[in-house]
């Protein structure tokens, strides 16, 4: 080995050790940052949407529910225990600016200037679509993890269509969306078969989607992005 080669190899070793150290430092750093504790980095790169530990309370809830169902089947308890109540209170602030309180949170509503409002927030019918899009996204986050799908990111795009003639108050033009198109932009290397399987589950367990009128024509599509 020439002096020159030795020098090269030595430098290469130092570089590799540095890179390895840097990688270890990065893993430690990101592990701490992302999880507030040291985590299994490999596992993190498998499940990008959420830490698995975030599903622990959900699984715990499901276990408790299962026990409650067994007790109910044995006639030990009333069906009422399954009923979860949610309360909101809406009040007017000024003009069409409203605020709605739900637990300790507050959301705001307004109308655009074209409808006499001040356009400080979204409208109620827009909020309906926001509720739907976010409900689908939450379900995707949960079920991508449950089904161990390698999903890097997902956004939910919704376009709703309403027939403006509903303000006539006539039966043939009901005050509702007539069409809602949902597109899931998914960054993932999973097969479309697997993604469609998850989508099926997502649709079944989306509490907002299930609360929508069956006459609303709905389409769902997955758009794979790079």
**Segment 164-223, which members bind its own copies (CB under 8 A)?**
164-169, 174-178, 201, 204-214, 216
Query: Measured from the CB of residue 58, what is the shortest distance to its own copies in angstroms?
Result: 5
Structure tokens at 106: 């507050």
Q: Which residue in the set 131, 146, 197, 218 belongs to the binding site for its own copies (CB under 8 A)?
A: 131
User: Rounded to an integer, what distance in angstroms lies between the CA atom of residue 142 and that of residue 119?
Assistant: 34
CB of 27 to its own copies, least distance (A): 20
Give the number of other CB atoms < 10 A from CB of residue 166: 15
C-beta of 21 vs 211, nearer to its own copies = 211
Size of the site for its own copies (CB under 8 A): 92
Q: Are residues 179 and 142 in contact, defined by beta-carbon separation less than 8 angstroms?
A: no
Applying CB under 8 A, among 159, 191, 223, 224 the residue interacting with its own copies is 159
Q: How far is the CB of 5 from its own copies (least distance, A)?
A: 49
Which residue, 160 or 190, is less far from its own copies as judged by CB?
Answer: 160
- Counting contacts by CB under 8 A, is residue 132 touching its own copies? yes
Residues 45-104 that bind its own copies (CB under 8 A): 49-51, 54-58, 61-62, 65, 69, 82-92, 95-96, 98, 100, 102-103
Among residues 12, 20, 38, 124, the one that binds its own copies under rule CB under 8 A: 124
- Matching residue, tokens 């697997």: 194
Q: Which span (3-11, 12-20, 22-30, 120-128) binds its own copies, by CB under 8 A?
A: 120-128
Q: Is the dihedral of CA 104, 204, 82, 147 positive or negative?
A: negative
Determine the Cα–Cα distance for residues 159 and 177; give it in Å rounded to an integer: 10
d(CA 48, CA 189): 12
Among 39, 149, 154, 195, binds its own copies (CB under 8 A): 154
Q: Which of residues 3-42 bind its own copies (CB under 8 A)?
A: none
Contact 188, 150 (CB under 8 A): yes
Q: Is 193 exposed, middle or buried (0-12, 13-18, 19+ CB in 10 A)?
A: exposed
Closest separation in Å from C-beta 4 to its own copies: 51
20 exposed, middle or buried (CB, 10 Å; 0-12, 13-18, 19+)?
Answer: exposed
CB contact at 8 A, 69 and 63? no
Q: 1 or 114: whose CB is closer to its own copies?
A: 114
């Amino acid at each position: 080995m020439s002096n020159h080669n030795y020098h090269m190899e030595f430098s290469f070793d130092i570089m590799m050790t540095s890179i390895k150290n840097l990688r270890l430092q990065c893993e430690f750093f990101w592990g701490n940052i992302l999880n507030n504790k040291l985590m299994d980095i490999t596992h993190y790169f498998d499940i990008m949407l959420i830490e698995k530990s975030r599903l622990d309370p959900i699984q715990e809830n499901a276990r408790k529910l299962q026990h409650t169902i067994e007790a109910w089947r044995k006639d030990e308890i009333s069906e009422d225990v399954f009923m979860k109540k949610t309360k909101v209170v809406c009040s007017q602030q000024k003009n069409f600016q409203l605020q709605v309180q739900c637990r300790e949170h507050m959301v705001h509503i307004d109308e655009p200037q074209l409808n006499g409002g001040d356009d400080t927030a979204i409208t109620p019918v827009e909020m309906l679509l926001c509720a739907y899009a976010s409900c689908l996204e939450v379900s995707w986050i949960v079920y991508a993890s449950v089904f161990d799908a390698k999903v890097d990111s997902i956004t939910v795009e919704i376009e709703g269509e309403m027939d403006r003639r509903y303000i006539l108050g006539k039966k043939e033009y009901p005050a509702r969306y007539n069409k809602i198109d949902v597109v899931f932009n998914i960054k993932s290397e999973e097969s479309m078969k697997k993604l469609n399987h998850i989508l099926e589950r997502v649709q079944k367990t989306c509490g907002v989607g299930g609360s929508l009128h069956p006459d609303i024509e709905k389409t769902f599509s997955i758009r794979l992005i790079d």
